[in-house]
Amino acid sequence: MKIALAQLNFHIGNFDQNKEKILKAIEQSKALGADLVVFSELAITGYPPRDFLEFDDFIDQSKHAVEEIASVCTGISAIVGMPATNPNPKGKRLYNSAAFLSEGKVQKIIHKTLLPNYDIFDEYRYFEPNTVFELVELHDRKIALTICEDIWNVEKNPLYTVNPMEELMKLNPDLMINIAASPFNYEQAERRFQVLNHNTEKYHLPLFYVNHVGAQTELLFDGGSMVMNAKGKVVDVLNYFKEDLKVYDLKDVEQSKGTSSITKVSKSALIHDALVMGIRNYFQKLGFSKAILGLSGGIDSAVTAALAAEALGAENVYNVLLPSPFSTEHSLKDAKELVQNLKMPSDVISISDAFESFNETLHPFFKGLLFDVTEENIQARIRGVILMALSNKFGYILLNTSNKSEAAVGYGTLYGDMNGGLSVLGDVYKTDVFELARYINRNKEIIPENIITKPPSAELRPDQKDSDSLPEYDILDRILYLYIEKRKGPAEIIAEGYDQQLVNRILKLVNINEYKRYQTPPILRVSDKAFGMGRRMPIVAKYLS
């Protein structure tokens, strides 16, 4: 039996496009001699469809699209992820399902058992868990068909009391197929490999695994679909961050010696590729082609511009340099050099006159109070108004350039430098932004060296440096990582050798600035705990604040 894995980039709710992609892959797989072609979890709708699942019309369109796909499945079978209606009046109205299509119709529908309800996952909001276990049969082969989370309950301290594969093994399957929507983070490929490896070693069956690829707003899917033999060895891995389709002969897989690991890629390379894909797909799926950003001469806007130029084409990234009375000549020079290196369009618009006008207008009402963060924020908001005006006038999407370190401690101005339609670096700590810049420069200097080496500064007052307000980033980022990603409390962080007063101050900054993060643009997710849908904190709370 020959099995094709079709790793495709679906578009949520774009039934016609998703259907056409699936039909094309079926035709291609059939031409390559495949008996079965496998698509990812909720392939027909795209993942995650979220509250679209509450609309009857959405479910009806999903069903009709799958029926149309089934009609062409003659001489080849297919497995397609879809939402299926629960006929039982008790329980949730839908299942997260996999349809087995063969001989021109839907032959069987297998439902997902384990519904993740943590971090970015919200499946129990919509779906009823499966309680009936059965195999799919094709060409005298019995297939244990599971959906994503169903094979993840093999780790220490399992989250669920049921293990679907344990139930399916009672029926004596010959192989495992898992269809998935496993979101990217820079550690996920290794974790995914370990889970697949544990399954094959435990059940002594070959495993065919197909994952989503592409970006769905902030969620990034890296692909990396995989085939493993019954000894837990990797037979093949499909491309990362790209659509791919390959056909495998089951006999060859069973006889393959395979390899004991997957190719490891640097953290910076993974983040780079994920962000480029995320920007490109966000624009494509919204029907936009051009980006705008404020280029300050600092490292965050430089890295954002370089990533956007790679994702969209340099000619489609409009850089606006917005010097204030406190901007240094070298920052302006550095920004212009970057623009020249990438051949991006740019303009210089001074905010000095606008800033002076605001100061004159507000002077009688500021009652003689001295220059402080108020005037700093006015500069940021003037820049935000100019960038949004240009965005509106010409139909650009404004890229936000704030990094995770700044977002965590509130080092940014609402309705100013926190503006944007998409946050590119909002899940990348400042120390990782520096590493990302080095990676971008791996073959030649794109980002000027001075941008990378000079002390970071918002340049909103004379001689300002980030270190005036914040600890050095290598210390700050480590404390933030322990608190945000690792969920460690203050006592645990202090026990790792950090100053008590500093830890308490940083954690307080994180918590009192939650209101700002509620108003930020979507953040491309590259870690396992990003701000946004995967981290849900109350604004009005006392804990650590």
User: Active-site residue numbers?
Assistant: 41, 112, 148
Please provide residue 150's backbone torsions phi and psi, each rounded to the nearest 5 degrees. -60, -25
Please provide residue 100's backbone torsions phi and psi, each rounded to the nearest 5 degrees. -95, 115
β-strands 397-400, 422-423 pairing: parallel
Residue 424 per-residue DSSP state: S
Distances (CA, A) of 197 to 74, 88, 157, 172, 211: 33, 36, 17, 19, 16
Residues 180 and 42: their CA atoms lie apart, in Å, by 8
CB distance 39 to 79 below 8 Å: yes
Three-state DSSP state, 308? helix
Sorted by sequence, the CB contacts under 8 Å of residue 457 that are 6+ apart come out as 298, 464, 465, 466
Three-state DSSP state, 487? coil
Residues 145 and 366: their CA atoms lie apart, in Å, by 68
Residues 32 and 385: their CA atoms lie apart, in Å, by 55
Residues 443 and 441: their CA atoms lie apart, in Å, by 6
Residues 34 and 3: their CA atoms lie apart, in Å, by 6
CB distance 317 to 422 below 8 Å: no
Distance of CA 120 to the CA centre of its chain: 10
CB distance 79 to 38 below 8 Å: yes
Nearest CA to 296 among 410, 356, 359, 379? Answer: 379
Residues 7 and 340: their CA atoms lie apart, in Å, by 38
Count Cβ neighbours within 10 Å for each residue of 191-225 and write b for 16 or more, e otherwise. ebbebbbebbeebebbbbbbbbbbbbbbbbbbbbb
Sorted by sequence, the CB contacts under 8 Å of residue 20 that are 6+ apart come out as none
Give me the residue label for tokens 């109070």.
369
* Residue type at 278 in one-letter notation: G
Length of the chain: 545
